């Protein structure tokens, strides 16, 4: 099993690189942002609660996300491995992921941390916002997302450094160049 956590600020390219990793390595993809957007679109109970947080660029409470992830993970039984995109985002989420995987005789194989400077992140998200229809791709919400990323999510890098699983990647350049850098790191673990 190859379980990859893809990590980075909003707009760092987690979703873009996940698509390429899935094609190359035949992994399943779990993006908590995508799952939440689907729940919001369907108007489920979870979707209604999540909407207020996502619209403000805040994190959805850990218990809700962990519960949601456990259900999605159980739907991926028999998979070659999973790429976790946008999860974990807090220490309790990282601990819950470790527990969930250990209970299924698995673990996180590696964590890829995409580094992109703030101006570039903002430009990418504003550009995407012109056609994405994402309610959080506007300047005010982007700023909140970045603040929350720095205060609550970025410290998780330290957690994965301690676990010996952290790989920093320069997330600037062409999509293909960045993918080559990621592949080098994944290949070490195959
Ligand atoms: P989520 O959907 O995870 O959003 P995010 O982290 O803000 O990140 P994005 O999806 O915006 O960016 P990305 O890194 O995937 O970049 P992308 O590849 O799209 O979360 C949304 C919200 O849901 C959160 O704010 C929170 O409220 C909630 N949530 C989700 N997970 C949660 C959790 N675990 N706990 C609590 N709450 C949670 O690229 C961005 C743009 O740049 C694209 O247009 C792309 O084409 C372009 N691009 C990509 N690579 C390049 C490149 N190399 N050069 C130029 N442009 C590029
Ligand atoms: Mg994404």
CATH number of the domain enclosing 87: 3.40.50.300
Q: At what angle do helices 32-42 and 45-56 cross, to 10 degrees?
A: 120
pTM for the model stands at 0.98
Mutate to test the pocket of ligand 1, among 6, 124, 172, 175 (most ligand atoms within 8 A of CB): 124
Tally the domains of the chain.
1
Rounded to 5°, angle at Cα 179 from 175 and 182: 145
d(CA 182, CA 174): 13
The DSSP H or E segment spanning 186 is helix 175-188
Position 90 in a domain: yes
Position 154 in a domain: yes
Please return the burial class of 163, using the count of CB atoms within 10 Å of its CB with bins 0-12, 13-18 and 19+: middle
Q: pLDDT tens string for the chain (190 positions)?
A: 999 999 999 999 999 999 999 999 999 999 999 999 999 999 999 999 999 999 999 999 999 999 999 999 999 988 999 999 999 999 999 999 999 999 999 999 999 999 999 999 999 999 999 999 999 999 999 999 999 999 999 999 999 999 999 999 999 999 999 999 999 999 999 8
The token pair that represents 94 in the structure block: 């990282």
183 Cα to the center of ligand 1, angstroms: 20
Neighbours of 85 (CB within 10 A): 23
Question: Would you call 112 helix, strand, or coil by DSSP?
Answer: strand
Which range of residues forms the domain containing residue 47?
Answer: 2-182
Position 187 in a domain: no
């Amino acid at each position: 099993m190859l379980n990859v956590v893809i990590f980075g600020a909003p707009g760092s390219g987690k979703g873009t690189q996940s698509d390429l990793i899935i094609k190359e390595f035949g992994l399943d993809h779990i993006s908590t942002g995508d799952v939440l957007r689907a729940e919001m679109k369907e108007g489920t109970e979870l979707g209604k609660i999540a909407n207020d947080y996502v619209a403000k660029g805040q994190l959805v409470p850990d218990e809700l996300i962990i519960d949601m992830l456990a259900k999605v993970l159980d739907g991926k039984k028999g998979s070659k491995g999973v790429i976790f995109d946008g999860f974990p985002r807090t220490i309790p989420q990282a601990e819950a992921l470790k527990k969930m995987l250990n209970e299924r005789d698995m673990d996180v194989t590696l964590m890829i941390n995409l580094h992109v400077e703030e101006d570039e992140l903002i430009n990418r998200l504003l550009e995407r916002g012109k056609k994405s229809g994402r309610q959080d791709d506007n300047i005010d919400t982007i700023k909140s997302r970045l603040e929350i990323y720095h205060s609550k999510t970025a410290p998780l890098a330290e957690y994965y450094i301690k676990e010996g699983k952290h790989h920093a990647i320069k997330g600037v350049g062409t999509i293909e160049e960045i993918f080559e850098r990621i592949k080098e790191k994944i290949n070490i673990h195959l």
